[in-house]
Amino acid sequence: MRLPVHTACFLMRVLAVELRLVAVPLVRPFRTSFGEETTKQALLVRVQSEAEHGWGECVASPDPRYSEEFIEGARQVLWSHLIPALWREEDVSAEDLARLFAWVRGNRMAKAALEMAVLDAQLRAERRPLAAYLGGQRDRVECGVSVGIPRSIEALIEQVGGYVERGYRRVKLKIEPGWDVEPVTKVRGAFPDVPLSVDANGAYRLADLPVFEAIDPLDLLMIEQPLGHEDLLDHAALQRRIATPICLDESLRSVEDLRAALAVGACRIVNIKAGRVGGLLEARRMHDVALDQGVPVWCGGMLETGVGRAANLALAALPGFSLPGDTSASDRYFEQDLTEPFVLAPDGTMGVPTGPGLGVEPLHDRLDATTLWVEQLDRGAGTRPHQKEAAEGAGSETRG
């Protein structure tokens, strides 16, 4: 099944691009196999066209842990290559960007952020919501939650209990060598009926098969990215040895990666993150491939602020996203989001934004309070950087 591709009603001329680094404190430390974070740093992109403005969020972290991309590298690629490529075109639409940026190898997170901003501006001008443009068929999506590695199993069970009480429809536990069989078994024992999954973020190797054989009987929805991001054949070998479906995340960066993974049997479930795959339009193409092959899809998260969270909700409204994603409420991560907060309903769902474009706007006071620096690039006028003192509590990030 292929969803109809919605073309732009008009082209637009981008006049300026603003890059802004923000640091938003987390409500509690979030630890994965990559390390611990206490603050979410995000590179925001704002474009200004003749008709409208639009926002994008880059999901790269301060350090190249999740992928080879990182915030400063994304900034340099945007500044030195992607934005100049945009300037070389008089008028563009978001659908043109993959062609314009094709000569820049990789750097998908940087490309995705600029595409999101251009698409937001384009759809604002057309008065069309992002979800409708992508082909979304739901006005609410089921929400799951990702739980980091806490200080103890008791603390983990307490956190999971709180999220279950709030209504989240899936709970994902982060695991790493030494923190796997026992905590997962204890959580399953405490919550026998809760849809439960685990995420290793590539921390294991095929030689760790006994770990996965031990958790295989625990009736998990999936085991996410158990092995290294390049280990498709080993993932396929592992999948043949266990009944629990394997879900791939870091391994899938494009439609081509997805087709290869499915062809060799490396996964039975797919996590799609627009930032990881180069943008919302590539994410939609991957969704279409998975839908054609009957493979369940869900929307992953990177601890996005409200800007990126709005895009995730729009993407998750597509029909192939049949499992609850990591689209948690704003208060799961932040005391104050950059936008009006996203709120979880008692039934564990969240509304898809219905306003034009992303349907959200960063709040000026929150931007002021969290901004570390701003740079504006004007068509034909170079760069005007403005440095600002770092917000208190700024730190490093892994991902969700």
Tens of pLDDT along 120-132? 999 999 999 999 9
The span from the CA of 92 to the CA of 122, in Å, is: 9
Same domain membership, residue 364 and residue 312: no
Please tell me the predicted confidence (pLDDT) of residue 27.
87
Strand pairing category for 170-174 and 196-199: parallel
Same domain membership, residue 105 and residue 73: yes
The active-site residue out of 111, 174, 186, 388 is 174
Same domain membership, residue 194 and residue 272: yes
The active-site residue out of 40, 111, 172, 273 is 273
DSSP string, 138-189: -SEEEBEEEE---SSHHHHHHHHHHHHHHT-SEEEEE-BTTBSHHHHHHHHH
Tens of pLDDT along 362-377? 999 999 999 999 999 9
**Mean pLDDT score of the chain, rounded to an integer?**
92
Q: Sorting pLDDT into bands at 50, 70 and 90, what band is 34?
A: low
Report for 34-38, 218-222, 386-390: range of highest mean pLDDT: 218-222
Q: Sorting pLDDT into bands at 50, 70 and 90, what band is 381?
A: confident
Q: Sorting pLDDT into bands at 50, 70 and 90, what band is 392?
A: very low
DSSP 68: S
User: Are the C-beta atoms of residues 43 and 60 closer than 8 Å to each other?
Assistant: yes
Please tell me the predicted confidence (pLDDT) of residue 98.
96
Same domain membership, residue 201 and residue 145: yes
Please tell me the predicted confidence (pLDDT) of residue 2.
52
The boundaries of the domain holding residue 72 are 14-127+360-387
User: Are the C-beta atoms of residues 40 and 23 closer than 8 Å to each other?
Assistant: yes
Mean pLDDT, range 158-166, rounded to an integer: 96
Which of 266-275, 354-363, 385-394 bottoms out in mean pLDDT, i.e. has the lowest?
385-394
Same domain membership, residue 161 and residue 108: no
Same domain membership, residue 236 and residue 159: yes
Residue 398 lies inside a defined structural domain of this protein:
no
Q: Sorting pLDDT into bands at 50, 70 and 90, what band is 382?
A: low
The span from the CA of 78 to the CA of 80, in Å, is: 6
Amino acid at 15: L
Residue 14: alpha-carbon gap to chain centroid: 25
Percent of the residues in the chain that have a pLDDT greater than 90, as a whole number: 88
User: What CATH number is attached to the domain comprising 298?
Assistant: 3.20.20.120
With a cut of 60, say whether residue 388 has pLDDT above it.
no
Residue 6 lies inside a defined structural domain of this protein:
no
273 catalytic, yes or no?
yes
174 catalytic, yes or no?
yes
Same domain membership, residue 233 and residue 169: yes
Number of domains forming the structure of the chain: 2
With a cut of 90, say whether residue 31 has pLDDT above it.
no
The span from the CA of 343 to the CA of 348, in Å, is: 10
